[in-house]
Amino acid sequence: MSVHDQSNNKKVTVPLLKEMKKQGQKIVALTAYDFLTARSLDKAGVDIILIGDSLGMVFQGLESTLPVTLEQILYHTQAVRKGVSRAMVVADMPFLSYQISEAVAIENAGRLLKEGGANAVKIEGGTHIVPIADKLIKIGIPVIGHIGLTPQSINQFGSYKVRAKEEKEAAELLSAAKALDDIGVAAIVLEKIPAGIAANITSAIETPTIGIGAGNDCDGQILVTEDMLGIFDDFKPKFVRRYANLSDNIRNAVEQYVSDVREKNFPADDESY
């Protein structure tokens, strides 16, 4: 039986992700913040479901991910967990939930697993977060790394432009990826970096890479579900492919409902008691 066949029915775990990389089976990841969406993604065969701090922008209407709190991630993780039986549930650790100290990171990550039901946590950053990630892994908390464009550092970067276009930063990313690989992270998200750099990183490490705007040579791909389904349509990054235009569908359905109610076409006799 191939890894592909196994991954259709086996619970996705850290060892399974690593085996998928070895056998060249692409890893599929999407975000979710609620029970119904998570259930649909899980039934469709998604391997990783991320409760991303992207909820700040696509769920709360904020301008960045920075205001998202641990309690909010915890709440949404609990909801998502109820809808998932197979996929790996990964909770984002929001800004300042892990950077302050190892003790704070351990407590917060532990809550996301113990209270939220997450299978792993995701933390942003390069070599500077390796000691914290290493500590979490050693006490049994799987960690997914995230390098390249890290949205929690938007005030440092100044924009959401492509990272690692210069040789120095590309070398720093490779060093960070190797350091994360050495401590045994479950996967590494590579966000908005040149495809060639992502390919080099992917081939240089044993850890699976999950790309978002990082080309097709990564071991897997992740998108924000609201982007992919066309629900969030304020803007469309280059790396997003819209598989539906649900924003238009929702608006059209609601407009029809408004019309039916006002014209007394709803409810009909067979919809009444």
Catalytic residues: 191
Rg (alpha carbons) of the chain, rounded to whole number: 20
Rounded Cα distance between 90 and 51, Å, is 6
Which of 204, 235, 205, 210 has its CA nearest to residue 223? 210
Question: Residue 255 carries which side chain, given as an amino acid letter?
Answer: E
Three-class DSSP category at 41: helix
User: In 81-237, where do the E strands start and end?
Assistant: 88-92, 120-124, 143-148, 187-191, 209-212, 220-223
Rounded Cα distance between 37 and 44, Å, is 11
Contacts for 95 with CB less than 8 Å, ≥ 6 apart: 53, 65, 66, 68, 152
Rounded Cα distance between 26 and 219, Å, is 5
C-alpha torsion 227→233→238→240, nearest 10? 20
Q: Output the six-digit token pair for 118.
A: 């997450």
Which of 99, 101, 93, 58 has its CA nearest to residue 77? 93
